[in-house]
Amino acid sequence: MKNQSAAINVISAEKPCSIPCNLCGSVIVEELSLVDRDNRYLRTVICRECGLAWTDPRPEKEDMRRYYSKDYRLKYKGTFEPRMKHIDRAGHVVLSRYERVRDYLKSGMKTLDVGAGGGEFVYRLKTLGHDASGIEPNEGYAGYAIKEYGVNVQVGFIQDAELDDASFDFITIFHVLEHAEDPLSVLQKLRSWIKPGGTIVVEVPNIEAVCQAPVHRFHLAHIYSFNESTLVHMGRRAGLDAVEVKFSPDRGNITVFFRRADSGMDKPFEGGISGNCEHVLEVVNKHTSFVHFTSSYPYVRFFNKLRRIIDEGLSVGKFTSGKQILDDIFKSA
């Protein structure tokens, strides 16, 4: 086991940062951690005013963009295109995501999935009769989605995408916002694309999660770390009202359902979020390796992962294409 105790290296002195807070604009921060999940140097700071956390300093924007368009899936999954086991896993993730959002969908909606990956969610919504499309920066995965499922996936970054104002009924952005260099501007862009009365679903990892080992809380690919308060307030700044908040059963993920607010897009943010920084610091500080490994979380996760690997091996062997795998998963839902 790596040096667990080094992972949460909380320093309480106020330290300067090179990037102002994306939510409130403050530059008064504390260092929250100095290492990433691989025990390499990664400085994560937290805003004293509102509790948003981010990587500071961070890689150049161009390096990050190249990483996501070419290298990201290769590094984490060892492949440019999704393999059968990845599609099987993604298909089951899609089912659980669909269950979370289905109450907000009505037949024939025009939908957009931002960070569409291999296109599984877009395909699911298309098969249910929606006018579904997606955006995905990774060329291999986006290309596979178009070729395998015949879905409409635009290859590129949301930051560069230009779509018609007020043209979508329903937008999803699962596990993308934490990777964006300017998440507030991403939410503002989504707000411009959603019709009045439409829904935007934003899901991110929860910085307060204690289901994973403390060493896994921060890593280079996640530039921003949110809790419920910072995500809801960032939506409000972008002109979006939170209408519902859901947590995954292990509280590792937060899903916020936003509606377009009647007021403007760049609402001023004054007064911070009282007590939120102190609250996050307390949660992170209390979640030590000792606490974690004497809880049930690591053992439940281990057995769930083992069961998933066995299930994937059993089901994937029967099929020769991604479409066959998804059709089989979706037909039983």
Q: Which residues bind Zn ion (CB under 5 A)?
A: 21, 23-24, 26, 47, 49-50, 52
Please name which of 222, 302, 231 lies closest in space to residue 37, comparing C-alpha atoms: 222
Q: How far is the CB of 24 from Zn ion (least distance, A)?
A: 3
Tell the residue number behind the tokens 């330290």, with chain if given.
Answer: 15
Nearest distance from residue 233's CB to Zn ion, in Å?
Answer: 9
CB-wise, 23 or 194, nearer to Zn ion? 23
Minimum distance from residue 169 beta carbon to Zn ion (Å): 32
Q: How far is the CB of 235 from Zn ion (least distance, A)?
A: 15
Secondary element (H or E) of residue 40 = none
Residues 6+ apart with CB under 8 A from 152: 122, 132, 133, 134, 146
Q: What order of strands is seen across the sheet that includes strand 253-260? A: 152-155, 131-136, 110-114, 168-174, 194-205, 253-260, 240-247
CB nearer Zn ion, residue 160 or residue 278: 278
Cβ proximity to Zn ion: between 21 and 35 the closer is: 21
> At its nearest, how many Å lie between Zn ion and the CB of residue 54?
9
Strand partners, 134: 113, 153
Closest to Zn ion by CB, 10 vs 74, is 10
Nearer to Zn ion, 47 or 213 (CB): 47
Residue 87 DSSP SS3: helix
Q: In the chain, what is the greatest distance between 2 CA atoms, to the nearest angstrom?
A: 57
Closest approach of Zn ion to the CB of residue 118, in Å: 35
CA angle 48-250-76, nearest 5°? 80
Alpha-carbon gap, residue 87 to 70, rounded angstroms: 19
Q: Between residues 90 and 277, which has the closer beta carbon with respect to Zn ion?
A: 277
